[in-house]
Amino acid sequence: MTENKRQFRAIKGTRDILPPDSALWNWFEQTAHNVFESYNFREIRLPIFEETELFARSVGAETDIISKEMYTFSIGHDADAKEEGASAQTYSLRPEATASVVRAYIENGMQTLPGNVKLYYVGPMFRRERPQKGRYRQFYQIGAEVLGQSDAPAIDAEVIQMLMTFFKHAGVTRTTLYVNSIGDKNCRPQYVELLREELRKVAGQLGPDSQRRIETNPLRVLDSKLPEEQPIIEKLPRISDHLCQACQEHFAKLKEELNLRGTACQENWRLVRGLDYYTRTTFEVIAEGLGSQNAVCGGGRYDGLVELLGGPPTKGIGFAIGTDRAILSIQESGKLPQLPGLAVFVAWMGQAAYPTAVNITRKLREAGLAVELPAEEMKFKKSLGLADKLRARYALIIGEDEVKAGSFTLKRLADSDQKKLSEFDLLEYLESERRDTRA
Ligand code: HAM
């Protein structure tokens, strides 16, 4: 094959979401809009790329996400560089969106808005991870964040309740919610030091990644999945025994608040998360049947992040759902929602029928139905065959007889039931059918 005839393929770790899956994605995201808006969250649309430094400072320069997985590029033109100022040397595709939400919150002075600022976002994120089932280099998140003056555990509980309610509505069942508290700036440093000391004692028994993390980020050792490290990790000191009074109370109250809302959870002292901005509450949702990439959501509290990025003292909490994985989990469960699809295929025949076909198609579409109108005349049998293949619910037959009689023949393709209807009755019948399938 010559070079200019070669076929292009999606880049490793990226993929196309094709119909009919795209309809499931739309429905999933729409369900999130509906549930989140019912909790009085509002959508924020964010840039896909930001200054590299924004992510480095918030997620943490030593984390895998920042140190190994970002897609980073420099500004191409000198003129741009001048305009952006010397600080903006490099940009990165966003690996997550919490940093952007906090940047937008500060930049737009959102702390002056009444009450807590409750935002959600939907869109692609980019991490150069090793692709596998459920792990992509371009993947999608639906996230929510609450920013404001209060760190009341009821806020954490409401955010988590909203998340689990959404999963229920979207059919992401067979899930487990894990919660933990990783302390705050008063108690965590001492715990991290203690952990480091204990880890140094057993360093020889740990793998190279964990050994490195003893110095860079000992908490991350708790996240290790290596089977040979598990018995060692189980004997390490637990954060729950080293929380300060305030953090202990916060965590106890969170569990009480979750209980009050009927949101079941399990405590997991090893849930430390892979991003540095967390304080106190951390949580994750695991779904069955996804193999090793089974975390469908991660989140937590980040009370110092707004200040760290140059804003006023502000508390924050949020989560991000991995849409790719959540959708996989719905598909694996086999319980797909009934989505409307193609309602009517207009099987017209003879040029005399064509104007009627164009007209009724417009009216049906205006009534909210999905309608396919063949652009060229087709033989009757071929037309009905195509209607079947396209999985239309009805074929609307318009031939010379129908035009003469001023009526339509509506054939239900599932059972070949056929009715002759006037235009008025046809519209009424199909509209009521549409209401029923959406109900
Ligand atoms: P995260 O745990 O890094 O947290 O990502 C959240 C979710 O995104 C994961 O649980 C997973 O479902 C999905 N995810 C992550 N990486 C990939 C990938 N390579 N392929 C497919 N799915 C992936 C955050 O991003 C935080 N910003 C969450 C947050 C919001 N914390 C507070 N507010």
- Per the CB < 8 A criterion, the answer to whether 345 and 385 are in contact is no
Amino acid identity for residue 274 in this structure = G
pTM metric for this prediction: 0.94
Cα of 159 vs centre of ligand 1, distance in Å, is 16
Give me the residue spans of the domains in the chain: 21-48+94-185+245-333, 188-242, 344-438
Atom of ligand 1 nearest to the CA of 295: 10
Report the topology of domain 344-438: Rossmann fold (3.40.50)
Among protein residues, the one whose CA lies closest to atom 15 of ligand 1: 322
pLDDT in tens, the chain (439 residues): 556 789 999 999 999 999 999 999 999 999 999 999 999 999 999 999 999 999 999 999 989 999 999 999 997 655 565 665 555 589 999 999 999 999 999 999 999 999 999 999 999 999 999 999 999 999 999 999 999 999 999 999 999 999 999 999 999 999 999 999 999 999 999 999 999 999 999 999 999 999 999 998 899 999 898 999 999 999 999 999 999 999 999 999 999 999 999 999 999 999 998 899 999 999 999 999 899 999 999 999 999 999 999 999 999 999 999 999 999 999 999 999 999 899 999 999 999 999 999 999 999 999 999 999 999 999 999 999 999 999 999 999 999 999 999 999 999 999 999 999 999 999 999 999 888 766 5
> Could you give the CA distance from residue 274 to residue 193 in angstroms, rounded to a whole number?
18
Residue 397 near residue 387 (C-beta atoms within 8 A)? no
Q: What is the C-alpha to C-alpha distance for residues 50 and 58, in angstroms, rounded to an integer? A: 12
> Exposure pattern of 198-214 as b/e (b: 16+ CB <10 Å)?
bbeebeeebeeebeebb
Ligand 1 atom nearest 99 alpha carbon: 27
Distance 388 CA to ligand 1 centre (A): 41
Q: Which bin fits 283, alpha (ψ -120 to 50), beta or left (φ > 0)?
A: beta
d(Cα 96, Cα 91) in Å, to the nearest integer? 14
The pLDDT value recorded for residue 82 is 60
Best of 12, 139, 166, 317 for a ligand 1 pocket test (most atoms within 8 Å of beta carbon) = 139
Determine the residue of 136, 141, 324 to mutate for testing ligand 1's pocket, defined as the one with the most ligand atoms within 8 A of the Cβ atom.
141
Kindly give the distance from the C-alpha atom of residue 321 to the centroid of ligand 1, in angstroms, as a whole number: 6
Nearest CA to ligand 1 atom 16: 135
Torsion of CA 47, 53, 55, 59, to 10 degrees: -160
Instruction: Look at ligand 1, atom 23, and give the residue with the nearest C-alpha.
Output: 322
Computed on alpha carbons and rounded to an integer, the radius of gyration of the chain in Å comes to 28
Please give the CATH topology (third level) of the domain spanning 21-48+94-185+245-333.
Answer: BirA Bifunctional Protein; domain 2 (3.30.930)
CA atoms of 26 and 391, how far apart (whole Å)? 19
Q: Which of 59, 117, 125 to mutate to test the pocket of ligand 1 (most atoms within 8 A of CB)?
A: 125
